[in-house]
Chain A
Amino acid sequence: MSILQIIFLLAALATLFCAVKVVITTRMMHSAFWLVGALLGIAVLFAMLESRFFVVVQVLVYIGAIAILIIFAVMLTRKIMDENQQRMNQLWGLAFIPAGGVLAGLIYILSRWNAFNTTARTAPVNGEDIEALGKALVSPTGFMLPFEVSSILLLAALIGAIFVSYDRKGGGR
């Protein structure tokens, strides 16, 4: 086993451990903290995939913004979340069936694919070409439409979320 493989396995196992803790932890705040751990582990895996930009974007957006937002929302809805609450649905054992089924199906289908065990990389060794990405984002033959559509998506999310959550009188509890 090479050093890279050991690093990969450590990062992957840590991420999976954090993900399992996210699912089974009862206190919501601790669950959010475990989520931060899982996101950090995923950032390490992004780094191992030779991506530069998305490592920092993962930390900046997921940990710096989304996790903080989740923590704020946990604080807002915290009153009823103490330990003596039931954390799973009554028939939670049944959830193993779809989850396990999807996992088995995915691995079965993927293992029949030729490129499954390829080790050769085609990505540039010094990270993605951010300049080309930026140029393609605004070029009419490139990804101009997704670029503008995503801004409309963000606008819709902003307006919708404020409309739903903001209550003019008193600003909520």
Chain B
Amino acid sequence: MSFVADPINFIADWLSKLLLGWGLPPDLVMVLLFIIGSGLLATVAMLWVTILIWYERKIIGRIQDRFGPNRVGPYGLFQSIADMIKIFTKEHISPDGVDWFPFTIAPIIAVGAVLAVWAVIPFSANFVGTNLSVGILFILAIGGIGEFGIVFGGWGSNNKYALLSAFRAVAQLISYETPYVICFLIPVMLSGSMNLNDIVKAQDPWFIFLAPLGALIFFITSIAEVGRTPFDLAEAESELVAGFNIEYSGLKFGMFYVGDFLHSFTISLLFAALFLGGWKGPWAEQIPVLGFVYFFIKSSAAYFLVILLRASMPRFRIDQMMDFTWKVLTPLSLTVVSMTALVDKLLPANLIWVRIGGLILLNIIIFIATDRLLDIYWKKPLFQKNNQVEDASKASSVKLGAG
């Protein structure tokens, strides 16, 4: 193992040998290495947010025919650092009658619950925080804790707008979590493991080729989980004054912002790891640094798509949004999971091209059938006659067509 091929494990080995050489007990050395490693990873993730904000502002600026930040540093690269220094010196106002503990802990949970996901993401063949055998469910569970950041924030603020929008946000999150949880079944099923590194290793054809519809639903629902445009109803400025974080100021507000950006990059990482082959690529097994680069490129591409959607889509209306998840995405994801399971079992596992062809054909059939059903449903509602339903299904058929 040379330094160039795999610097992180090289340094870790060197450090553990050094510490063991000092006569420390092995358990203590392990815990120390864990603390150093996770501390570095979490710090890098937090600082990475400044780059993300710069990247997003630059791209959105270009899309809107502006320059974006271009004053501080080369290409405006230090703009977010300047913003960070500014927000550090802003006053923390805690209004009268706040519920102190939930109010304080809400921004911490909002960031921590996103950051904790990074513990199980495989960044390269042998650089992964921990090989937790239930990694997928861990990610889902951490997402469930993230909802409490919003509930605590809304409840603790002692403000009716904050409370109302917090519960709207949570209703949205849990509604989109239903197809999200079901979609996670597809990579687990195709790889036979819940360990993220095993899932990446099992992607001989990338899973996006075996389950394109699953990847699409995953992408849509994970954007809704973050709460970005077009699903940013939680902080719809024109409807609910500012969302659940209205009473927050200073860095406490900034932490919600940081959590938001970090979350949208984290879903790009997950999308790349689950459907785009993660760190897989030519010679990635031998030279782990290459795997890191591949993973970075793939997740940046996914992040670019997320930003593109934000820049080009208008916001949903809340009833359309709820209809879209409950009446389109949930039945569709259940269909995709069960049909993929059935067809993949019937196809011979060793003929790789037959498998890809069969599954893509299946996905196309399901897609066309959904499109037809939505058309029929739009003209003549299946279960009830209501104008709002027609609007919603129209919107969702347009959405599916665009996706």
Contacts and interface: CB of A to CB of B under 8 A. Distances in A.
User: Do chains A and B make direct contact within the complex (CB under 8 angstroms)?
Assistant: yes
Nearest to B143: A64
Contact of B144 (A64, A71, A127): A64
Contact of A130 (B134, B143, B144, B155): B134
Contact of A56 (B137, B148, B155, B170): B137
B224 interface: no
B94 interface: no
Given A64-B143, A68-B174, A130-B194, A36 B148 contact: yes
Contacts of A63: 141, 144-145, 148
A55 B137 CA distance: 10
Interface string A66-105: 0010011001000000000000000000000000000000
A100 B77 CA distance: 65
9 contacts: A33-B152, A60-B137, A60-B140, A63-B145, A64-B144, A68-B144, A68-B170, A71-B151, A72-B167
A22 to B, nearest CB: 16
A57 B181 CA distance: 12
B155 A127 contact: no
Interface centre among A68, A75, A127 (most CB of B within 10 A): A68
B367 interface: no
B43 interface: no
A137 interface: no
User: For chain B, what secondary structure do more than half of its interface residues adopt (helix, strand, loop), or is it mixed?
Assistant: helix
Interface string B126-150: 0000001110011011111101100
A53 interface: yes
Contacts, number: 53
A127 B167 CA distance: 36
A59 interface: yes
Nearest to A54: B134
Contacts of A56: 134, 137-138, 140-141
Contact of B147 (A33, A57, A68): A68
A130 to B, nearest CB: 7
A21 interface: no
Contacts of A71: 151
Nearest first, the 10 closest Cβ-Cβ pairs linking A and B are A64-B144, A59-B141, A56-B137, A60-B141, A56-B141, A52-B134, A56-B134, A56-B138, A60-B140, A60-B144
A136 to B, nearest CB: 16
A52 B148 CA distance: 23
B134 A127 contact: yes
B133 A59 contact: no
B147 A64 contact: yes
A29 interface: yes
Contacts of B144: 59-60, 63-65, 68
